[in-house]
């Protein structure tokens, strides 16, 4: 049985002062019995989040990372820096990075490999645009992303990672995928992992859904066999996040 994992992706929100206030507000109502909880915060909030969440079992993740070891890459953050800060997860391949910052599958693959090499667990995001969905090429497109982004990754690594299915049209729009739509794609991702690796690996990898997850749609999403949690954007910035975590517990 896979333990569900609920991750908040704060995106470019929360100054250090706001981060402290929000975590202090949420912390007393969150516990990691029956569910894994993770906050993926802006780089400048990582150390504060680590400090505030120490001893709670709640993990801290970054939202990006560069694949080079160190050196003249102004503005970038290395895997070694994240490890030294106690960060255990990193979101890679988010559609906002693919879109606004032109990250392609080749770059994302290098980042995924570097994360594993450094002992950080990647949350690899994939997802189709509305045009692709309307064209009927959703599954084909996502399988292609998975194959490219996981090139050279071993089955033991995949078994420990997280894949987040985030349809681009559902992100920040208030229009979530229905639980059946999300389940169809998450099941296809698991099948693709079984094809690329084996059944055991496919049964171990945790697959989240992300895209307008709220307290009112989370319960139904979490009843689905292949949805192992959520990557939550907007609703992770408020106390609603607690209700989403609690619905995951109820379906654990
Ligand atoms: P929203 O929950 O705000 O739609 O964002 C989803 C997302 O992109 C999480 O990574």
Domain parsing of the chain, residue ranges: 5-250
The residues that bridge with 165 in the sheet, in sequence order, are 126, 209
Catalytically active residues, by annotation: 94, 166
Q: Is the domain covering 5-250 a CATH 3.20.20.70 domain?
A: yes
Instruction: Determine the number of helices (DSSP H) and then strands (DSSP E) in the chain.
Output: 12, 8
Three-state SS for 181? helix
Tell me, what DSSP letter sits at residue 223? Answer: T
- Does pLDDT of 252 surpass 90? no
**Cβ neighbours of residue 13 under 8 Å, at least 6 residues apart?**
42, 237
pLDDT tens, residue by residue, 17-65:
999 999 999 999 999 999 999 999 999 999 999 999 999 999 999 999 9
Ligand 1 contacts CB of residue 171 (under 6 A): yes
Ligand 1 contacts CB of residue 210 (under 6 A): yes
Ligand 1, atom 7, lies closest to the CA of: 233
pTM as predicted:
0.98
Rounded CA gap, 195 and 197, in Å? 6
pLDDT tens, residue by residue, 113-145:
999 999 999 999 999 999 999 999 999 999 999
């Amino acid at each position: 049985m896979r333990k569900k994992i609920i991750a908040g992706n704060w995106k470019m929100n929360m100054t250090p002062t706001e981060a402290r206030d929000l975590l202090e507000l949420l912390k007393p109502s969150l516990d990691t019995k029956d569910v894994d909880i993770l906050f993926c915060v802006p780089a400048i909030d990582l150390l504060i989040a680590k400090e505030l969440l120490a001893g709670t079992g709640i993990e801290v993740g970054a939202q990006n990372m560069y694949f080079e070891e160190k050196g003249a890459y102004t503005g970038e953050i290395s895997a070694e820096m994240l490890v030294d800060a106690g960060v255990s997860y990193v979101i890679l391949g988010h559609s906002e990075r693919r879109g606004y910052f032109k990250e392609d599958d080749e770059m994302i693959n290098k980042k995924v490999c570097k994360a594993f090499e450094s002992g950080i667990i990647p949350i690899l995001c994939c997802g189709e645009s509305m045009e692709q969905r309307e064209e009927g090429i959703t599954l084909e497109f996502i399988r292609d992303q998975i194959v490219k982004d996981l090139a050279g990754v071993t089955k033991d690594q995949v078994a420990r990672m997280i894949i987040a299915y985030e349809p681009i049209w559902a992100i920040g729009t208030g229009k979530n995928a229905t639980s059946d739509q999300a389940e169809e794609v998450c099941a296809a991702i698991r099948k693709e992992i079984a094809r690329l690796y084996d059944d055991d690996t496919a049964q171990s990898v945790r697959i989240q859904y992300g895209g307008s997850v709220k307290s009112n749609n989370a319960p139904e999403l979490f009843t689905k066999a292949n949805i192992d949690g959520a990557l939550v954007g907007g609703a992770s910035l408020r106390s609603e996040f607690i209700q989403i975590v609690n619905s995951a517990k109820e379906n654990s």
